[in-house]
Amino acid sequence: MTAKTRIVVLFLVDLAIIWFSIVTSYLFRFYDDMPREYYIQMYQYGLISTVTFGGSLIYFGLYRRMWQYASIGEIISVIKAILVGALLSYGIAFIILPERVPFGVEVRSVETILVLVGGVRFLWRMFHRERINYKDTQTHTLIVGAGDCGTLIAREMMGPMFAHSKVVGFIDDSMNKYHMSILGIPVLGNRYSIPSIVKDRNIHEIIIAMPSVSRTEISEIINIAKKTGAKLKIIPALNDLIAGKISVKKLRDVSVEDLLGREPIVADMNGILGYVYGRTVLVTGAGGSIGSELCRQILPFSPDKLLLLGHGENSIYTIEMELRKSFPDAQIITIIADVQDRTRMMDVFRSHRPQVVFHAAAHKHVPLMERNPSEAIKNNVFGTRNVADCADRYGAQRFVMISSDKAVNPTSVMGATKRIAEMYVQSLSATSQTKFSAVRFGNVLGSRGSVIPAFKQQIAAGGPVTVTHPEMVRYFMTIPEAVQLVIQSGAFAKGGEVFVLDMGEPVKILNLAEDLITLSGYEPYVDIEIKFSGIREGEKLYEELLTDEENLGATQHNRIFIGKPEIMNQNQLELEFKRLERVLPEEPEAIREVINQIVPMQPVAQAAIS
């Protein structure tokens, strides 16, 4: 039946209901003793009501609604249409008919029309829902959270766009909601009931609709739900609910970041504004994962100018276009330059005089740097020296270097060069007016070259997912989280600090791989195989954030700490740098020996894989 045909049929049914209601109302009023003049009046009143009720039903849009998805709004429209139709028909009849229509007839006919017109529509709604419920092709959905957000999602999923889905029930930890129904959908249990409910109700999809709870709680719920094999989706942020933007379109797949369960960072806005607002800020490596996020988070603090410096033109162009769209009034200057080019760095600092420098340019890939140690030295050590010397010479107020947990007791060339760079930055702070500091943290999820994108590619290809060792452990942070703490650390710098970020609990890489496979809708070791490839050159099983000699101090921020490593004399470092310069053309092993004399590298534990 076409939509037009349905409208015509429904309109004819409504007219039949109007006549039926009026005739039965007159019969009930007079029983078997209705005078002849009232028969004439009944037909006349019926004709008047046909016009007035019919027009009112059309005016209030009762034939433009999808009644299989009717709710409170549709009930109100039915009531309005019938009351307006009744008033019009009674008023017109009072004016043009010789005899007044009995008030009892009017009241009874309105009651009958209201019940039958509304009843027909809601019977159709029930019939439609029951008919759909018998289909086997539907996606059975379970919503975690029976509050405002969950109710909004359920209501939208009852609409025509989601006929392929059926909300089977809610999950909520509130005891008061157990065995209650919302929109006709039952609350089936609490979070610990999820596995049994998924199994008993044949759930295909779980939606976590709890934007106001802590991330730790969300992580706990995800850890319960991920074991069921159902696809997981989540409402991302509380501010969407406040702004009235909650929609199924806002749902996204649960990510590995959600599993970390880390709470949002509370930033000292005044402290950051104090050294960024109205200043010229330079970000090196601005096209990289950390550098580009630094740019995104710095611009809201209204620097006078933001200098985006990078070696790769494509990545700099990409972040420039993004920033110009998001911050059309900001003064953004792009600079294509290599930090290894000392003359070019001098030109940049002489021309723009940056007051705040975030040095994110670095080579970070451990196995690649093992095979190319000269490049690690040129970029990570000499590149840092060039930028730091320029910051000192041209009077920058602050210099923040992005370091790595691999600089602690390094087993790799990459880690050792990062530690040497830290040492140089610290040595400058003893004589410079610039406040030099370094910020040390672990892996960031989703950065280029990190394990998450590699795992995703392997899963998309059908596997296997390769993990180096079953006991490999790493610290992880999200990119925005790490960068926010980096910017915050800059506000605390007095000169010479190595800030250490609270990375939370270390994560087993094997568990990370298993979670990512599960969140992708597959079963580890069944759908996607996991293989162990062996520890790569320069890697270690466990990362550290401090050496044994470093003392950890507190800051005003509960997620930022200060390490005070031993500082090497700048003159001594310059002598070591000359040795590094001389050895650059030689074989990798000779380069490692010189690095090892500056920063002793620890042997890699080549544990057997069982």
Helical residues (DSSP H) of 372-430, grouped into ranges: 373-376, 383-393, 413-429
Task: Give the CA angle between residues 299, 305, 309 to the nearest 5°.
Answer: 90
Residue 61 Rama label (left phi>0; alpha psi -120 to 50; beta) = left
Q: What tokens appear for 426 in the block?
A: 């610290």
Is residue 305 within 8 A of residue 333, CB to CB? The reply is yes
Rounded CA-CA distance 338/322 in Å is 22
Residue-wise over 159-191: b if at least 16 C-beta within 10 A, else e?
Answer: eeebbebbbbbbbbbeeebeeeebeebebbbeb
Q: Give, as one character, the DSSP assignment of residue 266.
A: -
Helix (H, G, I), strand (E, B) or coil at 19: helix
CA–CA gap between residue 592 and residue 605 (Å, rounded): 18
Instruction: Measure the CA–CA gap between 14 and 50, rounded to whole angstroms.
Output: 9
Give the C-alpha separation, 254 to 231, whole Å: 9
CA distance 182 to 158: 12
Catalytic residues, by residue number, are: 406
Using N-to-C axis directions, what is the helix angle for 103-133 and 72-96, rounded to 10°?
Answer: 150
Torsion on CA atoms 167, 168, 174, 179, rounded to nearest 10:
130
In the DSSP assignment, the letter for residue 118 is H
Strands (E), 255-375: 280-284, 305-310, 332-336, 356-359
CB 230 within 8 A of CB 203: yes
Q: Which helix (H) or strand (E) holds 7?
A: helix 3-30
